[in-house]
Amino acid sequence: MNFKRNGVNEWIFQRVSNVLIFCYAIFYIVNVLSMGEVTYDAWVALHSATWFKLYSTVTLVIVMLNAILAGWQIGTDYTQKVPVPGFSVIFHSFYTIVTLIFLVAGLCILWAR
């Protein structure tokens, strides 16, 4: 496996993932607006369906991968200017760990019931 960074692939991934995230947002808004009366039972029915949980899981993973890539891109621009040895590694480790915590929390929320 080749884990070298490729700017073109990263650019394409960001554009495709942003389109997928946008599609999920539209899908979610349309579902909520088409519920008619928003009741607890209707809300639970939407969020407990397996297809909804799978679609939300895929979207959540895409959001987190996009966040890690964005953190790396933004972080490398600014951490190179900090004259503290190891700052870049600490910064990248920090946002990666925070992103993974958000992923685990999101998966727990989605699949808890």
1-37 residue pLDDT tens? 556 777 888 889 999 999 999 999 999 999 999 988 8
One-letter identity of residue 111: W
Domain map of the chain by residue range? 7-111
**What's the token pair of residue 106?**
């999101």
Do 100 and 60 contact (CB within 8 A), yes or no? Answer: no
Do 64 and 103 contact (CB within 8 A), yes or no? Answer: yes
Do 57 and 110 contact (CB within 8 A), yes or no? Answer: yes
Match domain 7-111 to its CATH number in 3.40.50.720, 1.20.1300.10, 3.40.50.2300, 3.40.50.20: 1.20.1300.10
Please tell me the distance from the alpha carbon of residue 66 to that of residue 62, in angstroms, as a whole number. Answer: 6
Model pLDDT, residue 23: 97
